[in-house]
A and B are shown apart, each in its own frame.
Chain A
Amino acid sequence: MTRDRPTWITLVLVLAIAALLGVANLAGNPYVPTYIVSLAGKYLTYAMLALAVDLVWGFAGILSLGHAAFFALGGYAMGMYLMREIGPRGVYANPLLPDFMVFLNWKTLPWYWHGFGFFPFAVLMAMLVPGLLALVFGWLAFRSRVSGVYLSIITQALTFALLLAFFRNDMGFGGNNGLTDFKDILGADLHADTTRVALLWITAILLCAQLLVCRFLVRSRYGKVLIAVRDTESRTRFLGYRPETYKLVAWTISAIMAGIGGALYVPQVGIINPSEFAPANSIEAVIWVAVGGRATMAGAVLGAVLVNLGKTWLTGALPEVWLFALGALFIVVTLFLPRGIMGLFARRRGKPAAAVSAAKEITG
């Protein structure tokens, strides 16, 4: 079973750091400017994506190379709400149509943009759209017993197809430029320090909630079956379990978690465009989990934050080196730290590989 303590430590750390950064910022501490607050918020939304990947990869053995698609869809749902919130304050001052639609000479709002002016609807869609896509995709894939590398490849194709679709202007999602120039959220100015701090705190609290949901799933009897499916799928089948439904439940929940992450990412970063669907983004998310430690939950959060801290620093200092560093990191972790940073902790405490059948092949 997964050890419990790292989860609680992560929970406390996430809340404490978010609280500290927020309070310091509001108190006017010069070391914590607002951009740091939003950067921290962004990392925590990445941590949500990592946790979502860990749930399916770590505990169900599904290596998704397209999870950023669910993240981006959640982001677009929130972005659509934020666009509608701009109202007549856009460059073209059209009270109904976002700027890019006026620019494209559109006269009416596309039907699928209706309702997004209403915040609860947008939030619902940020979860429903990724969830439904995952449900349909997973139902087809798992029922046909597509697994291993083949499944990874089609998840990659899924996100690439969405990338191409969202690039098109006539899709009605702002094409290449995506959605940006947001003004406020629920009437609160998005550029105000208080809004930024509130967003960070909400992100931290929801990340903790997601950790608790994952903890519940993994420790339940359902979670035990899921781990059994990951390692010995045929055995579970001959015991009378249907692995496809077990995978589908985890897969759909995971997509919803990623969607929530995306919805929180957009107001803090201020833009969503099709590049969020880039296959490389999904692969990066898998690397965060591998670095932190697969099937450890706490490791996913840790990996996402640490790798992105490194990315922020390195892309500032030596931008051209970043991708090589990321590749090298993945190789080093795979070769020398098959159980990630969390595995390092476990080894120090002298505990054998209890949580994961170490470095289990992705195709298993």
Chain B
Amino acid sequence: MSFDGFRALNALSLVLEPGEMRAVIGPNGAGKTTMVDVITGKTRPDTGRVVFGKDTDLTKLDEPAIAALGIGRKFQKPTVFEPHTVWDNLLLALAGDRTPRFTLWARQTTEEQDRIEAILTTIRLSDHRDRRAGDLSHGQKQWLEIGMLLAQEPQLLLVDEPVAGMTDAETHETADLLREINRTRSVVVVEHDMDFVRALGVKVTVLHEGSVLSEGSIDHVSADPRVVEVYLGR
């Protein structure tokens, strides 16, 4: 994946290998969320390209088309379907036909049920399947949303601040969960919690004012004087 020359994002270029997990950090306003918006089709860049897979230019597509290609997105604020049960949230997220023509007549298959069961186990919400998603705790909603992304079976997962507002225990479990997910898919984690990024133990890209300031291991970037300047010298 590569980005060149945006106005909001300034000449940002980032390449992610298939199967890689990458942490993107940076102070407020660095362009982290804008970058995710551009990849998922919410915002269209003035110039530049976002290439997914071999040669698919994502800037030509809209959100549902990009989602169908296999790119999932987790919002900064947990966003689940509150009036529906945990089970139904996952059911709606399961990869499959998205047209009303199909959903009008669709019946739950045993295959679908098995997949939902498996995801419930992964996200540790098996006991909460029949609860309204709106009644879950903040951390449980975050996991449910991650579960919905898994159900979508994306090749690439974009996770925007997954541990914001989580307890230490929940943060720890989330790191485990993301590593588990990364076994089969590429993951981009946007964060500004340095400790969490350190716990993930992956390559880090530091953004500042819309471009890449530094890239490498967490120890490498935290030793970089420019990064120290941006984080501490404001």
Q: How near does chain B come to A234, taking the closest CB pair, in angstroms?
A: 7
Q: How far is the CA of A245 from the CA of B100 in the complex (A)?
A: 7
Using known A-B contacts A222-B103, A235-B75, determine if residue A227 contacts B64 with beta carbons closer than 8 Å: no
How many contacts A-B (CB < 8 Å)? Answer: 81
In contact, B83 and A355 (Cβ under 8 angstroms): yes
A70 to chain B, nearest CB (A): 20
Inter-chain CA distance A151–B99, complex, in Å, is 24
Is B82 touching A224 in the complex (CB atoms < 8 A)? Answer: no
CB distance from B139 to the nearest CB of A (A): 18
Contacting pair A220 B103 (CB below 8 A)? yes
Decide if B98 is an interface residue (CB 8 Å cutoff): yes
Query: How far does the alpha carbon of A249 sit from the alpha carbon of B98 in the complex, in Å?
Result: 14
Interface size class of A (residues with CB under 8 A): 20 to 34
CB within 8 Å for A231 and B92 given contacts A221-B106, A240-B98, A242-B98:
no
Residue pair A221, B103 in contact (C-beta under 8 Å): yes
Q: Flag if B63 contacts A237 (CB, 8 Å).
A: yes
**B88 / chain A contacts, CB cutoff of 8 Å:** 224
Whether the Cβ atoms of B67 and A231 lie closer than 8 Å is no
Q: B132–A232 contact, CB under 8 A? A: no
Residues of chain A lying within 8 A (CB to CB) of residue B98 = 239-242
User: What chain A residues lie within 8 Å of B132 (beta carbons)?
Assistant: 354
Task: Identify A238's interface contact among B63, B81, B106, CB under 8 A.
Answer: B63
Q: Known: A238-B63, A240-B67. Is A220-B92 also a contact (CB below 8 A)?
A: no
| A236 CA / B103 CA spacing, docked (Å) | 14
- B105/A220 in contact, CB under 8 A: yes
Question: In the complex, A350 Cα to B81 Cα: how many Å?
Answer: 23
Q: Is the CB of B100 within 8 A of A222?
A: yes
Q: Is the CB of B92 within 8 A of A357?
A: no
A234 B84 Cβ-Cβ under 8 A: no
A205 at the interface (CB under 8 A from B): no
Interface pair B67/A238, CB less than 8 Å apart: yes
Main secondary structure on chain A at its contact with chain B?
helix
B152 in contact with A357 (CB, 8 Å) = no
Q: Are B79 and A232 in contact (CB under 8 A)?
A: yes
Interface residues of A in 316-364 (CB under 8 A from B): 354-357
Given contacts A235-B80, A240-B68, A354-B83, contact A228 B100 (CB under 8 A): no
| Chain A, 192-228, CB within 8 A of any chain B CB | 217, 220-222, 224-225, 227-228
Once the chains are docked, how many angstroms separate the CA of A354 from the CA of B131? 11
Known interface pairs A220-B103, A222-B103. Does A238 touch B72 (Cβ–Cβ under 8 Å)? Answer: yes
Cross-chain contact B106 with A235 (CB below 8 angstroms)? no
Q: How far is the CA of A245 from the CA of B53 in the complex (A)?
A: 28
In the complex, 27 of the A-B residue pairs with CB atoms within 8 angstroms, ordered by the A residue number, are A1-B84, A221-B104, A221-B106, A222-B104, A224-B84, A225-B100, A225-B103, A227-B83, A227-B84, A228-B81, A231-B82, A232-B81, A235-B75, A236-B92, A237-B63, A238-B63, A238-B67, A239-B67, A239-B92, A239-B148, A240-B68, A242-B64, A249-B100, A354-B83, A354-B132, A355-B83, A357-B82
Known: A221-B91, A238-B40. 7 other contacts (CB 8 A): A1-B84, A220-B106, A227-B83, A235-B75, A237-B64, A238-B72, A239-B98
